Structure 1
Amino acid sequence: MIIPPALEAKHAYVLHYINATAERVRDIVSGYCNEQGFAYLGRVKALDSLAEKLETGRFERWSQLEDLFACAIVIPTLLDEARILEHLRANFREVKCLERGTTRKDPSVFRFDATRFIGELRHPPGEAPTNLQGIKFEIQIRTAFEHAWSVTTHALAYKGSDAQWRHKRLAAQLRAAVEQLDQVVLGFEQWAGAIKEQRWSEIDEQALINEFMTNAIEQGKIPSEAIPSSLVRFSENLRNMIVAGSKRPHWNEGYEGKIRAALQRLGAEMDTLGESAFPRSLSLFQFCLGVFSKNNIFDRKLGERFVVVVTNELQSLYPEAEGFVEKKFDFEDAA
């Protein structure tokens, strides 16, 4: 497209400051996202996109442009939004913040409505402001669903060569679905409570292990440093290990009996050792493997599909484990 010379000249003059601002903002925001486990993306507005923006007729002067650099923080749920805004306000000068749900909107209309933080860089105390402090930037806070909607529909519905009612209609319908999904995630427990629960042996068996471990932790049988970061994941892994070392049950039976027997032996070992003698050199998972091996819980070797981390500490404390492991994790393989 043809760019007005006045716009080209202005853009060329401020581009250095825009890029410098973008680098500072990127360092702060992407670093925070890495720490918190959020996704980050950003871009300096291209000249042709800037020209199209001015052609909307909504801007009177250069100082009204607020997204010469823009980035987005993609969050799992809306519950994360408040602490992100707190972080942004602590690191940048807030020009304004357009929070989701604060604008007037027809209830029959569905459009992008993510929170947008407009900010500027702060100048160091005691120093005069520079041109860097005059560059406004926009930081959007999107949920994962909003981000998926934005990147998949924007190019299809708004960047095409022709305007079609059906394209925008479908984009709006998808936006409505996104809004509903975010609300379901926000009220996950309440929505889950409306679902009729049905029995499934794997879930029941994992819940059995989870309940046992939770009680053991509460009773002080497991030292704090041995507590897994996720009991849900640990219970799933432990159940899978017991299954790998067990004979296949009859078609209408699960592994509940085997798991109860394994947990009973585990509880007895914990009671015998006490918290003070609990082996700190083993992970809780390795400790369970050692106890199960020592007490002949397994009917067979764990098999090639269930690879186990066997350490010197495990072999020293529970040498019986060696006889039930068919395949060990290889720490020396550099491939």
Structure 2
Amino acid sequence: MERHVSGTLRPYCDQRGYPYKGRKKQLVSLSEKLESGRYSRWSEVDDLYACTVVVPTAAHEDSVLGFLSDAFEEVEVRRRNSTQKAPDVFRFDSTRYIGRIESNPGLDLPEGVQNIQFEVQIPTAFEYAWAVVTHDLVYKSENFDWREQRLASLLKASVEQSELLIAGFQSNVSIVPKSAHPDSDAKNQIVDIFRGLVISGSISKELTPTSWSRFADNFYSLAKSYSSRRAAPVKAVELANAIAARIEGSDEWSELMSGSLFQVVLGMVGGKIAPAANLNNFVVVDSVELRDFHNLEHIPKVFDFNS
């Protein structure tokens, strides 16, 4: 069971960056579970093998459940918040998938293994952290202490609060009071300037960065490399405006399909687009595009691929 389930789920999780953890129930733990009086036969025990697929947020659950239903025989899905819970109670309630291995002719499995159920828990990253931290402290404690149970519930309440804020991240941004920060303000202007160039068609959409935030960080780091920390916000915006003026006056970049938007910036700086702007202290990843499309022949500090 462990070999087949983990062999199916691990590659799926690795491809998506989901942490995966599996465990076979130990004899002592199984004995204590049977003594709970909740089970009348072996087939009712659903976690002789159990594993955990940790997802970033609850929004990722459906895709995991879809994969599980395709890969195994579904017995039951116990959705988060599907059990009755008072509004002042905070406990583990992540989604759980109960399944069996489907009986297929090509599978080399011991007889009867298809009748054993297994469990897949699908907690979010915050829920998983809470469970890992509190499990041994509370549920394997030598004493039953009301205070420990209370503290674990308080921590779970904090987890739920974090989950709610993340689920409505874009909506909740508006409730955060904004504070002036020259570096952040400059990066925001940089994104606005270059996104506008893409939207207007002055720059080919193929050069749109995967992350505007990362582009702004790299652009700002370049400006900092030739200016003081205090002057960097002003210098960065000046450079962005100078590049925008150059691009808007030509259709040279509207048809460019290769390379990256940041390479356009590097080529401009190498061509002395703005006073004092230079590449002397900035490490550049050299490429054919920089030379062929942006005429950047001399790079003072080149990234070394050989060490």
Normalised by the length of structure 2, the TM-score is: 0.89
Deviation, 1:66, is 0.2
Aligned partner of 2:143 in structure 1 is: 162
* 1:219-230 alignment, distance < 5 Å: 219-230=200-211
**Structure 1 residue 247: Cα displacement:** 4.2
Supply the distance in 1 between the matched residues of 2:197 and 2:278 (Cα, whole angstroms): 27
Q: How many residues align?
A: 304
2:37 alignment partner, one of 53, 57, 82: 57
SS class of match (1:41): strand
Give the secondary structure class of the aligned counterpart of 1:96: strand
Query: 2:206 & 2:295 partners in 1: Cα distance?
Result: 23
- In the alignment, what sits opposite 2:252? 273
1:218 is displaced (CA, Å) by 2.2
> How big is the shift at 1:268?
1.8
Q: Which residue identity does 1:186 align to in structure 2?
A: A
Contact 2:219 2:236 in 1 (8 A): no
User: Offset at 1:226?
Assistant: 2.9
Going from structure 1 to structure 2, the CA distance change for 1:301 and 1:205 (only over 3 Å counts) comes to same
Distance 1:267 1:74, change over 3 A: farther
What's 1:322 paired with?
298
Q: Which runs of 5+ in 1 are unaligned?
A: 1-20
Is the 1:307–1:329 contact (alpha carbons within 8 Å) kept by the matching residues of 2?
yes
Any conservation in 1 of the 2:79–2:94 contact (CA below 8 Å)?
yes
Amino acid at match of 1:265: I
Specify the alignment match of 1:3 in structure 2.
none
| Distance in 1, Cα, partners of 2:229 & 2:144 | 61
Deviation, 1:222, is 3.4
Structure 1 CA distance for aligned equivalents of residues 117 and 202 of structure 2: 56
What is the TM-score with the length of structure 1 in the denominator? 0.82
Task: Select which of 175, 179, 195 maps to 1:214.
Answer: 195
What is the Cα deviation at residue 320 of structure 1? 5.3
Structure 1 residue 302 displacement after superposition: 4.6
Alignment pair present for 1:76 and 2:56: yes
> Alpha carbons of 1:64 and 1:228: their partners in 2 closer, same or farther (altered >3 Å)?
same
Structure 1 residue 143 and structure 2 residue 130: aligned?
Answer: no
The structure-2 alpha-carbon separation of the partners of 1:303 and 1:153, relative to structure 1 and needing over 3 Å to count, comes to farther
In the other structure, the counterpart of 2:261 is 284
For residue 315 of structure 1, report the CA deviation from its aligned partner: 4.2
1:331 maps onto 2:305 in alignment: yes
Q: CA deviation at 1:294?
A: 0.3
Question: What is the CA-CA distance between 1:118 and the residue it aligns to?
Answer: 0.3
| Letter paired with 2:15 | E
SS in structure 2 at match of 1:255: helix
Other-structure match for 1:17: none
Q: State the distance in 1 between where 2:46 and 2:227 align.
A: 63
CA pair 76-248 structure 1, distance change in 2 beyond 3 A:
closer
1:100–1:114 Cα contact (<8 Å) kept = yes
- Once the two structures are overlaid, the 10-residue window that deviates more, 117-126 or 282-291, is 117-126
Shift of 1:88: 1.4
Residues 203-232 of structure 1: per-residue CA shift (max 9 Å, x gap): 111111211222222233333443221111
- 2:143, 2:236 → 1: CA distance? 65
Asked if 1:98 corresponds to 2:78, the answer is yes
Aligned partners of 2:245, 2:105: CA distance in 1, in Å? 61
What stretches of structure 2 of length at least 5 have no aligned partner? none
Amino acid at match of 1:289: L
Whether the aligned pair in 1 keeps the contact of 2:206 and 2:257 (CA below 8 Å) is no
Task: Kindly indicate whether the alpha-carbon contact (under 8 Å) linking 1:265 and 1:295 is maintained by their aligned counterparts in 2.
Answer: no
AA of the residue aligned to 1:134: N
Specify the code of the residue in structure 1 equivalent to 2:265.
C
User: CA distance change for structure 1 residues 206 and 126 in 2, over 3 Å: closer, same or farther?
Assistant: closer
Distance 2:3 2:245 in 1: 55
Percent of matched pairs sharing the same residue: 36
The yes-or-no answer on 1:172 pairing with 2:163 is no
Distance in 2 between residues matched to 1:56 and 1:298, nearest whole Å: 77
2:193, 2:244 within 8 Å by CA — same for their partners in 1? no
**Preserved contact between residue 78 and residue 95 of structure 2 (Cα < 8 Å):** yes
Distance in 2, matches of 1:216 and 1:22, equals: 54
Letter in 1 for 2:168: G
Distance 1:124 1:263, change over 3 A: farther
Q: Which moved more, 1:308-317 or 1:104-113?
A: 308-317
Cα deviation digits, residues 187-215 of structure 1 (max 9, x gap): 11222211111221111111112112222
Q: Distance in 2 between matches of 1:279 and 1:94?
A: 47
1:313 Cα deviation (Å)? 4.2
Q: What's the offset of the Cα at 1:163?
A: 2.2
Q: Spell out, residue by residue over 1:140-182, the C-alpha distance to the aligned partner (whole angstroms, 9 max, x if none).
A: 1101110000001110111122222221111111111111111
